[in-house]
Amino acid sequence: MRSVLHRKHTDVGAKFERRGAWLVPSVYRSIDAEIDALGSALGFADISARGKLHLSGAVDDHVRFLTGAPLDPLHVAPVATGGAIARIARDWALVLVSPSAEGDVLRALEQQQRQGAMATDVSGALSGFLVAGPRLEDFLARTVTIDPADLLSGRCVAASWARIPAILVMKDLQEPAAEIYASSDYGRYAWGVLQSLAGTPVGWRALEAWGWK
């Protein structure tokens, strides 16, 4: 499988590797240069290959099953078997797992047979991007309609980003980081915004060496 941005990556010389069933951009110029961009300024990456499940309705039991504990809206928690869950609202959460791992998680949730909850695979429907580095707050100030100071690590929110509806998941790796998820229909537009504002494209090898997973 390929993200909607595969041609964009090819045009700038990306090399590709397989993660699960997906071909992902592993490196553009060099891993060291990309890690340096993340640590000194700002880097951005296409993480659309992540497995993604949309949970809706009475999601409390599903959230507790995946994390082992309750989770308040607007917060993010690790999934016990790997990945993370972003609880955007009382009746809405996004599960984020390794590429092609979403099928196993979906089957496990279906076996729970919880009334009033629905789990849907949206791995292909949502494009995903990671933006990270010391300049992240400045970047967010130019692209979101809410105060970037409210976007703390471990939090998530549905908001307008670069004039499109998106989900932001905040992390703290070696530098502040934001994962941005939006409809794949906006994928090419979003990548253009990142190219113009966010500095250096970063491949999966640099991300993984930097501690992202």
What is the domain-level CATH number for residue 26?
3.30.1360.120
One domain for residues 86 and 153: no
For residue 93, the domain's CATH number is: 3.30.70.1400
Within a domain: 1: no
What pLDDT does residue 128 have? 98
Q: What is the pLDDT of residue 80?
A: 86
18 in the same domain as 83: no
> Are both 44 and 62 inside the same structural domain?
no
Distance between CA atoms of 95 and 51, rounded to whole angstroms? 8
To the nearest 10 degrees (0 to 180), the angle between helices 60-67 and 102-112 is 120
pLDDT at 152: 92
Among 79, 103, 121, the domain-final residue is 121
Note the pLDDT of residue 132. 94
Q: Return the bridge partners of 129, or none.
A: 46, 180
Q: Do residues 108 and 78 make contact, with C-beta atoms less than 8 angstroms apart?
A: no
Q: How much is the pLDDT for 158? A: 97
State the pLDDT at residue 213.
78
Assigned domain for 41 exists = yes
Judge if 202 and 147 occupy the same domain: yes
Strands 51-57 and 117-121: antiparallel
pLDDT computed for residue 199 by the predictor: 81
Does any domain span residue 109? yes
Instruction: Based on the fold, state whether residues 70 and 115 are members of the same structural domain.
Output: yes
Do 42 and 129 fall within a single domain?
yes
**Final residue of a structural domain among 99, 121, 143:** 121
Query: Is the domain of 131 the same as that of 203?
Result: yes
What is the residue range of 29's domain?
6-49+124-209
Is residue 174 situated within a structural domain?
A: yes
Query: From first to last of its 213 residues, what are the pLDDT tens digits of the chain?
Result: 899 999 999 998 999 999 999 999 999 989 999 999 999 999 999 999 999 999 999 999 999 999 999 999 999 999 988 899 999 999 999 999 999 999 999 999 988 877 789 999 999 999 999 999 999 999 999 999 898 888 999 999 999 999 999 999 999 888 899 999 999 999 999 999 999 987 899 999 999 999 887
pLDDT in the model for residue 83: 93
Q: Give yes or no: residues 116 and 142 share one domain.
A: no
Burial letters 120-148, b for 16+ CB under 10 A, else e: eebbeebbbbbbbbebbeebbeebbeeeb
In total, how many domains does the chain have?
A: 2
